[in-house]
Chains A and B, each alone.
Chain A
C-alpha cells in the first residue's frame, strides 16, 4: 500500500466542509487533550480557532522548546540550475518563461560553495528545476561528490526520482529530500502543471513512499500556499505526514508552508493566506505533532520571521539567493521567486541571539550515513 490508497479514501470537498464546520468547542477540546488526532488538527486550522490564536501560540512555543530547546537550525539553498521542462503557472523557472537558462559547472558550483561556507553554513539545500537530460541523476551524483567534503548535511529539492535513483544518491551523502505536493487538489494540480513530467500527480504523490522505501534520513513535505484552500491542503499534508511516520518510522520529517511569491510574469495567488493564518497553521502543526521540524524560508518578511521563530519554527534559511550562481556572481540569472527577507546570515544570526536563541549550524555529520 502507498499513500494513494489512503488519499483516495478522502474527498476534498467533504474534508473542506468538515474543517469549516468545526466550532469553538472543538478547538477547546483539541487544546485540552494531551495528544491530538487529525480531527483535532482540523479544528486547530479552522476559522473557529482564530479567537484562540494566543493560546495556541503559548502551547506551540512550550512544545517546541521542550523538544528542540531554544535553538534554531540554519540552512541555505544552493540553486544548481534553472533549466526546466515543466510548465508551472506559478514558478519563475517555468518552461514558457523566456529567461536565460543556466546550469552550474563544477567550477561555478565550487565558487558558490566557497561563499556559502564563508557565511558559516554546514547544512545545504540543493535546488533545481526539472530537466532530466541535463540535470538528472548523473549530474546529482557529481554534485554530491563535489559537495560532500564541505557540508555535514545535504538536502535536495529537485524533481521526484525513482526509488532506485534515490538509493544511488543516498550513499553519496544525500540526507534529506524535500518534495512538495504543491496542492492535493487533483484537478487544480492539473491546471497548474499542464506540461512536463510534473503533470503526473500520482507519481509526485507517491514520491515520499519511494523515499521511505529507500530509507532516506529525512523527508520534507508541504504545499504551495495560494494555489487552493490552504486549510484543506494542510489537512492532506498532515494526513500524509501521519501515514508516513507510521510506515517509515526510521525517517525524520519536516514541513514547510511556502506562500506564493510574485515572480516576473507570474499569476497572483488564487487564495490569500494572511499573516495571522500563517501563525495559526504553524501553531496547529506543532500542537498536532510535537516532533516534526518546521521550516521557514526567506519568502517571509523580516518582522514575520523575527516573531515566528519563537512560535514553533525549528529551521530557517538566511541570505538566500534563488538564482543559480547567485552567491558568487554579481550577474543575475533569473530567480525562482523574489526574496522578502534579504538580511545577511550575520544579521539573522544576531537577530536569533537577541531573541535568546542559539543558532545551530551543524546538527548532523557526514559519518552518519
Chain B
C-alpha cells in the first residue's frame, strides 16, 4: 500500500484514532497499539500539562504514536489560537487538529471561525488539520489558506451513523489537493472501509473503538478494514454496472437498416 504523506510526516497506517471515552488509560493504550495507528488525537482540555505524570500522556508514550493535539472545547478563533499555542508548547508538536464547535450538544464545527482560525494558525507555523462539515467549497477554501489536510465529517460526531455525507465526500475527494481524512460518525469497520474505497486518505475513529465492549478486538477490526478499503481503492474497484444487458437495441437498431 502506498504510504500517506501529510506535511513532513509519512504514515504507514491510514487509521487515525482518538483517545476519549475509554474505560481506562490502559485499555486505551492497548486498543491504540492494536489499531496500528500512528496519529493519535488528544484533547488539550483532558490533559494536565502542568503534571509530568499525566495519566493519558504516559500511556501514549510509544514511538509509533504521533500526537495530534485538538482544540475541543474552544468556541471561536481567539480561543482556538490560544489553545493551539498552549498545546504546541506543552506537547512539543506544531501539529493541530483544529476543532471549533460552539455548539456543545451536537459538536458541529463552525465553518466561519474554523476558516479564520486555520488561516491564522498556518501563518503561525502550525500543521493544521481542520475538522469541518463535508462542504466541498469550504474544503477548497481551507486548502487555499494552507491546511495540511481537511477532515470532513461522515455524520455527527459520536453518532456511529456512517457516511451520511457520502455524496459531498465524493466531491471533496475528487477535488482535493490535500489529503482528505474522514472524521466523525464512523461507527463500524464497514464504514471505514467504505470511506477508504471512496478514496479518503485516512479515517479518524474514536467512539466506535472506545465504546465497544472489546476495544482491542474492535481496533484490530478497524485496522483490517482500513487496509482492505485502501487496497481496494488502489486495486480499483470493478465498475458497477447498473444497466441490464439488453437483447434488442430499440434506440440504435435503425442504424442497421440504413
Contacts and interface: CB of A to CB of B under 8 A. Distances in A.
Contacts of A250: 75, 102-104
Given A69-B21, A358-B23, A368 B45 contact: yes
A20 B236 CA distance: 61
SS class of chain A's interface: helix, strand, loop or mixed? Answer: loop
Contact-residue size bin, chain A (C-beta under 8 Å from the other chain): 20 to 34
A56 B86 CA distance: 43
Given A249-B103, A365-B83, A69 B45 contact: no
A358 B79 contact: no
Interface stretch (A4-12, A60-68, A262-270): A60-68
B20 interface: yes
A362 B47 contact: yes
Contacts of A364: 45, 73
Interface in B71-102: 73-75, 79, 82-83, 86, 102
A110 interface: no
A369 B86 CA distance: 14
Contact of A291 (B102, B105, B160, B210): B105
A68 B79 CA distance: 24
A329 to B, nearest CB: 28
B86 A245 contact: no
Contacts of A302: none
Contact of A360 (B46, B102, B106): B46
SS class of chain B's interface: helix, strand, loop or mixed? Answer: loop
Contact of A68 (B21, B25, B83): B21
Contacts of B74: 368
Contact of A70 (B21, B44, B46, B104): B21
Contacts of A249: 102-103, 105
Given A66-B211, A249-B105, A357 B83 contact: no
Nearest to A218: B104
B73 A69 contact: no
A357 B24 CA distance: 7
Contacts of B24: 353, 356, 358
Given A358-B22, A358-B25, A66 B46 contact: no
A69 B106 CA distance: 16
B136 interface: no
A141 interface: no
A132 interface: no
B207 interface: yes
B208 to A, nearest CB: 10
B229 to A, nearest CB: 24
A360 B25 CA distance: 11
B23 to A, nearest CB: 4
Given A65-B211, A69-B207, A70-B21, A251 B86 contact: no
A71 B211 CA distance: 10
Interface string A13-54: 000000000000000000000000000000000000000000
Contact of B45 (A68, A245, A251, A363): A363
B105 A69 contact: no
A1 interface: no
B234 interface: no
Contact of A368 (B79, B103, B211): B79
Contacts of A252: 104-105
Contacts of B73: 364-365, 368
Interface string B200-220: 000000010011000000000
A69 B23 contact: yes
Given A65-B211, A356-B23, A368-B79, A251 B104 contact: yes
A141 B105 CA distance: 29
A315 interface: no
Interface in A217-264: 245, 249-252
Given A71-B21, A358-B22, A365 B45 contact: yes
B103 A69 contact: no
Contacts of B25: 358
Contacts of B47: 362
A357 B45 contact: no
A70 B46 CA distance: 15
Contacts of B75: 250
Interface string A271-295: 0000000000000000000010000
Contacts of A70: 21-23, 210-211
Contact of A69 (B22, B83, B102, B160): B22
B21 A245 contact: no
Contact of A122 (B48, B86, B211): B48
Interface of A: 65-71, 122, 152, 245, 249-252, 291, 353, 356-358, 360-365, 367-369
11 contacts: A67-B158, A69-B207, A69-B211, A245-B105, A291-B106, A356-B24, A357-B23, A358-B23, A362-B45, A362-B47, A365-B45
Interface of B: 20-25, 44-48, 73-75, 79, 82-83, 86, 102-106, 158, 160, 207, 210-211
Among all A-B residue pairs, the 4 with the closest Cβ atoms: A69-B21, A70-B23, A252-B104, A365-B45
Given A69-B21, A365-B86, 16 more contacts: A65-B211, A69-B22, A69-B23, A71-B21, A71-B23, A249-B102, A250-B102, A252-B104, A291-B105, A365-B44, A365-B73, A365-B83, A367-B79, A367-B83, A368-B79, A369-B79
